[in-house]
Amino acid sequence: MPAVDTATLGNGLQIAVVSVDGPPVVAVQVWYHVGSKDDPRDRRGLARLFEYLMFQGSEHVRPGGHGDLIGALGGFVNGHVDEDASHFGETLPVSDLDTALKLEADRMRGLVLRDVNVQATRQLAAEQAKNESATPVAAGMAHLLSIAFPTAGYAWNPSGVASDIDSITLDDVKKLYDAYYQPNNALLVVVGKTTLADVKAAADRAFGQLPRAETPKRAEAEHDQSGSRREVLEAGPVGLALFGFHIPPARDPDFYPVQLAAMMLGVGDDARLKKRLHTKDAKTGELLAVDGGIDLHVHENPGLLVLVGAYREPSHGQAVEDAMTDEIKRLGTSGPDEAELHRVKRQVESGFVFSLEHTDGFAETVGRAWITTGDATSWQHDADKFEKVTAGDVERVVKQYMNADRATLVVVPPKGP
């Protein structure tokens, strides 16, 4: 497995380089430690809106020019903003590394922010936010997040809320930019056919002159939940039972058995929840539910494991809830069997290793590790930590984190035939 080398520039910009002896290509990504959880409560969607602005011109690059230039070199650009992080970058021939870093430095501190762009982007971003909450599952999930996180900014989706987005101003955008888009709040990740020495020299040329800024304040984490919460929403076309449980942050050692437990419950056709919800009633031959699965929100701060059951018959509501609770209890009482543990470990391992095949996927792994653990090298131990998880660990964490006292349940009853 390739190793990661790190360095820090004088202005606080951190650098992580993974040298891969392959084709003459590099993935360059700049990770900013700011995400939707840092949005002000009345500006939900601000960080995601900013993603659009990062492509609309900087001091020495015309709007759209960044992508055009990288395209002309044979490469491609990308950018993404989620709950904890915002990252932007490009994959391109290694011979053009300097150009990529110049472009990134130009938008790190020289972004051209204009009211006309903010106005146009607001419309796009609000539309996106509306689309993302349009399905019954998305609406139910959004409600679950809002009651599961009374304190933390994980209470909304990164795409935000249309009414908040409509009131975002140029001033809001500038405040976000000046607080977080700073060298000492960023990590430069480069993966590909290069070395730390080459990257550091090039980064010095591109970013070295940018001054260090004040350390931004960090968002508040969710307080420990005691006592269950339950809400029943208006009936929808499909019945939904959404169970949320607070889980430890990504840097916590318990995160590893929690993820494996989540997969045992809800990933693949052999998963416990899927099989249980797909059982037929012996008398009527009816399926208990249409589908079941999980949604794992792993974050820098304590996140949420969501178990989903979808059903059609209004009379099945209680049975679906009971079956879900029962499956959790069963895993927390008897633990997994060896074959099951082996299967999910192989799935996690192959998912992890295959994600490193693309240089940009590799760079994301490094950047994500830095955001969630504060250490750009921590991903190197992930495979080992997953491998060491025992059946007893899984049993323990299910009991500890997925119990009734920590449950938040949202029910959307089905309208019925």
Partner 1 sequence: MRAAIAVLVFAAACGAKPTPVVMPTLPGDGDTNTAKPPPPRTKPAADPWESKTLIGPPEISPPQSVDLAAMVSFKLSNGLEVHVIPDQRLPVVSMQLVVKAGRADEPVAYPGVAELAADLLVKGTRTRDAAGIAKLIDSVGGTITADATFEATVLSCSVLRRELDTCLTIVPEMVEQPKFASDEFTKMRDQLRGSLAQRLSDPATVATVHAQNLLWTNQHVRGRVTSDLAIAQITRDEVIAWHKAWFTPANSMLVVVGDVDAKRVQSDIERAFGGWAKAPVPPHPQMLPPGLNGTRIRLVDWPGLPQAQIRVAQFGIQHTDPRFFDTLVFNYILGGNPQSRLSRVIKTGGASTFDRNADAGSFVVSTSARNTDAVVTTEVVLGEITKMAKEGPTDGEVAQAIASISGSWGLRFQTVADVGAALVGAELHGFGEEYLKNYGIAVGHVDPGSARQAAQAVLDPKNFVIVIVGDAKDIEPQLAKKGWRYDKVPFTAQITPVVTPDVDPKRLAAAKKFLDDALVAKGGRAKLQALTSVRLTETGTTTAAGHPAVAVDMERVLVVPDKLRIDARFASGAGGAQTRVVYAADGAKGWVQQPDPSDPTKMVVQDIPPPQMGAIDFERWRDTDTILLKATDPAAKVTPLADDDIGGKPQTVIKLASPFVGVDVTLYFDKATKLMTRMTYDEGGFTSSDEFADYKPIDGVQIAHKRPTHDRARDIELTVKKAEVNVQIAPSSFVKPASATPATTTAPANPGAK
What is the DSSP secondary structure assignment for residue 380, as one 8-state letter?
G
Q: What is the three-class DSSP state of 350?
A: helix
Quick one: which segment of 245-253, 265-273, 320-328, 369-377 binds partner 1 (CB under 8 A)?
265-273
Q: Which of 10, 24, 237, 314 binds partner 1 (CB under 8 A)?
A: 24
Beta-strand relationship, 186-192 and 25-32: antiparallel
Quick one: which segment of 9-17, 323-331, 348-356, 393-401 binds partner 1 (CB under 8 A)?
348-356
- Looking at the Cβ atoms of 41 and 283, the one nearer to partner 1 is 283
Least distance from partner 1 to the Cβ atom of residue 247, Å: 22
Q: Is 99 in the site for partner 1 (CB under 8 A)?
A: yes
Least distance from partner 1 to the Cβ atom of residue 164, Å: 28
Choose among 218, 215, 121, 129: nearest CA to 172.
121
- Looking at the Cβ atoms of 113 and 261, the one nearer to partner 1 is 113
Q: Give the position of tokens 């004088």.
A: 10
- Structural element, H or E, at residue 408: strand 407-412
Q: Is 1 in the site for partner 1 (CB under 8 A)?
A: yes
What is the DSSP secondary structure assignment for residue 6, as one 8-state letter?
E
Q: Is 312 in the site for partner 1 (CB under 8 A)?
A: yes
For the chain, state the CA radius of gyration. 23
Q: Give the position of tokens 């080459």.
A: 198
Least distance from partner 1 to the Cβ atom of residue 371, Å: 23
Q: Which of 179, 233, 235, 290 binds partner 1 (CB under 8 A)?
A: 290
- Looking at the Cβ atoms of 227 and 285, the one nearer to partner 1 is 285
Instruction: Give the number of other Cβ atoms within 10 Å of residue 283's Cβ.
Output: 6
Q: Which of 270, 322, 337, 405 binds partner 1 (CB under 8 A)?
A: 270
Residue 231 and residue 409 in contact, taking contact as beta carbons nearer than 8 Å: yes
Q: Is 279 in the site for partner 1 (CB under 8 A)?
A: no
Q: Is 34 in the site for partner 1 (CB under 8 A)?
A: no
What is the arrangement of strands in the sheet containing 407-412, beginning at the earlier edge strand?
A: 229-232, 407-412, 239-247, 303-311, 291-297
- 127-146 binders of partner 1 (CB under 8 A): none
Conformation bin of residue 412: beta by default, left when phi > 0, alpha when psi is -120 to 50: beta
Least distance from partner 1 to the Cβ atom of residue 168, Å: 21
Choose among 102, 73, 100, 97: nearest CA to 89.
100
The full DSSP string for 54-103 is TTS-BTTB-TTHHHHHHHHTT-EEEEEE-SS-EEEEEEEEGGGHHHHHHH
The full DSSP string for 41-61 is TT-TTHHHHHHHHTTS-BTTB
Least distance from partner 1 to the Cβ atom of residue 46, Å: 23
Q: Which of 78, 80, 102, 221 binds partner 1 (CB under 8 A)?
A: 102
Q: Which of 356, 363, 376, 397 binds partner 1 (CB under 8 A)?
A: 356
Least distance from partner 1 to the Cβ atom of residue 260, Å: 13
Choose among 327, 258, 325, 318: nearest CA to 288.
318
Residue 155 and residue 149 in contact, taking contact as beta carbons nearer than 8 Å: yes
Q: What share of the chain is helix, strand, coil (3-state, %, to 5)?
A: 45, 20, 35
Choose among 108, 95, 105: nearest CA to 204.
105
Q: With CB under 8 A, what is the number of residues at the site for partner 1?
A: 60
Quick one: which segment of 81-89, 145-153, 317-325, 352-360 binds partner 1 (CB under 8 A)?
352-360
- Looking at the Cβ atoms of 219 and 264, the one nearer to partner 1 is 264
Quick one: which segment of 172-180, 213-221, 250-258, 335-343 binds partner 1 (CB under 8 A)?
335-343
Q: Is 359 in the site for partner 1 (CB under 8 A)?
A: yes
Q: Which of 6, 7, 12, 65 binds partner 1 (CB under 8 A)?
A: 65
Give the footprint of partner 1 on this chain (CB under 8 A): 1-2, 20-25, 57, 59-62, 65, 68-69, 71-76, 91-93, 95-96, 98-99, 102-103, 106, 112, 114, 116, 268-270, 284-286, 290, 312-313, 339, 342-343, 346-351, 353-354, 356-359, 417
